[in-house]
Amino acid sequence: MDRLGDDIKAIKLYVAGQGAREAAAAAAKDLETTAPLVPGLFPPGSDSKALPGKSAAKPEIWDNPDDFQQLEQALTTGAADLRKTVDAGDVATIRDSMRSLAKNACGACHENYRGRKDGD
């Protein structure tokens, strides 16, 4: 998950005029490649109750597997869309794509399935 966050940061830097397009493109490609791996990061028993201080996953992930899977699909689709917009290079379109990804995938999943972890 930290890797996904680093990718997003690199793209945000480009959008803010503080990063190179090449770095943003590499980050977007990595994000697209890594996004489908997210469900494997959350096997049963990897929630915050089982792994206090190491996991922020709420047990509700396994109570609502269909919803979690839909959010993962939104992440995969959103990451692919974001990569396409970064490749095209239009900052306004990249910004819109990032907002969509944040709202429909990252934010929705964190709202329902991510609790607090030590240090948050």
Residues 7-18: tens digit of each pLDDT: 999 999 999 999
Distances from the Cα of 18 to the Cα of 13, 15, 22, 80, 92, angstroms: 5, 7, 12, 23, 15
Average pLDDT on 82-94 reads: 97
Start-to-end CA span in the chain (Å): 14
Where does the pLDDT of residue 83 fall: very low under 50, low under 70, confident under 90, or very high at 90 and above? very high
Q: Give a yes or no: residue 120 inside a domain.
A: no
User: Domain range spanning residue 92?
Assistant: 2-113
Mean per-residue pLDDT over the chain, rounded: 93
**pTM of this prediction?**
0.90
Task: Say how many domains are in the chain.
Answer: 1
CATH number at residue 94: 1.20.120.10
Cβ-based neighbour number of residue 33 at 10 Å: 13
